Structure 1
């Protein structure tokens, strides 16, 4: 599959070096060197993946990301953060980012993240609707429906819910979630999973769904419905 990438990065030397590497790996890539132009490009909806730096002139990456999501652009976004800046990572994920890379990073790691997102996109192109309790998930459109209400999920949220639905009744460990969603060679940690579990719980609450994600302490997570009479954490 031909993958078209937008990279929004103001360090031109770095961006152009990565551009050459990605082209050698058969990716099509466009560059934007400030947030305003990056947002304009992203809003076109033509890209398969966006690599987005946080520190940008004219408009910072978090604002760009929020504007993309507010305008219905669900293109997977890999956020570039400063090393060790946990606050940036959490804010980025909360704003709709699908993954992050801490600078400086190895190009091999970036390529691995791009391949993982590409695989997930391919896997999600199917017509089947996933059902559990009173919710319906369309992994192709990322749409979560409950009754007469619906919610557009981010790619990672959809992947996590898809995993939980497919294992219904079975406890899924944090390690399993990390391996399935981010791959084996990743710096994603337990709190990465916790953030996305929290996102899904908020959406279930907004939809007034009877489905809950139960925390089994020391083991992981399992989908249940409120009819089960369990206590949810």
Structure 2
């Protein structure tokens, strides 16, 4: 999945690029509105993270230009402008979602997942299904065979990250960054402990959690 980030803050842009790349996205970025518009119109992007206050060309102008084309690109406005009229203007001009700064990376990731799934059969409840398992992103809930699995926040985050990247091996470092952010860390043995506890909870319901280990590389869920 290709993502374009148009954001004039270099530090935020770098943080988003690293975070989304570690989650399996292909990311391009720029801090200039004119260059961003050219990239959006010429590139094959599925998602656009768009700031409003940009040099050269502002975010709303970029949005209008994209919507005048037939490009099917989902746009998430990411802006410090938090007034209702700013949000209304963005949405009326074709944005699919609007997130105000400051924000949590986890929320941005979930919103992008929802935009990715928009129009598909499982967006109705924002669910990721895998065999007897159903992960509800909106309600942060895992079910197996119709039973709720009572997970801690970290257990849930690990499962959400792996279920969202089915068919990809994710290292413990990538899972750590997803749990704690770019500038913090969660020890590998802590991730193992969270997974072990989650496995036991699922096994008590008569199921096996479909998370496998590729020794020396990380963890994965086979493509459903």
Task: Give 2:69's aligned residue.
Answer: 71
Query: Equivalent residues in 2 for 1:45-194 (5 A)?
Result: 45-123=43-121, 183-184=138-139
1:38-88: per-residue Cα shift (whole Å, max 9, x none)? 110110250010000001000110000000101222311000122532111
Consecutive unaligned residues in structure 1, runs of 5 or more: 125-158, 164-179, 186-233
Consecutive unaligned residues in structure 2, runs of 5 or more: 126-135, 141-224
Query: Equivalent residues in 2 for 1:208-223 (5 A)?
Result: none
TM-score normalised over the length of structure 1: 0.51
Question: What is the root-mean-square deviation in Å for CA atoms of aligned residues?
Answer: 2.5
Does the 8 Å CA contact 1:68/1:74 hold for their aligned counterparts? no
Does the 8 Å CA contact 1:81/1:89 hold for their aligned counterparts? no
1:73-116: per-residue Cα shift (whole Å, max 9, x none)? 23110001225321111000010000011001000011101111
Provide the secondary structure at the position in 1 that maps to 2:48: strand
CA distance in 2, matches of 1:6, 1:19: 9
Q: How many residues align?
A: 130
Q: What is the deviation of 1:119? A: 2.0
CA distance in 1, matches of 2:35, 2:62: 10
| Segments ≥4 residues shifted beyond 3 Å | 121-124, 182-185
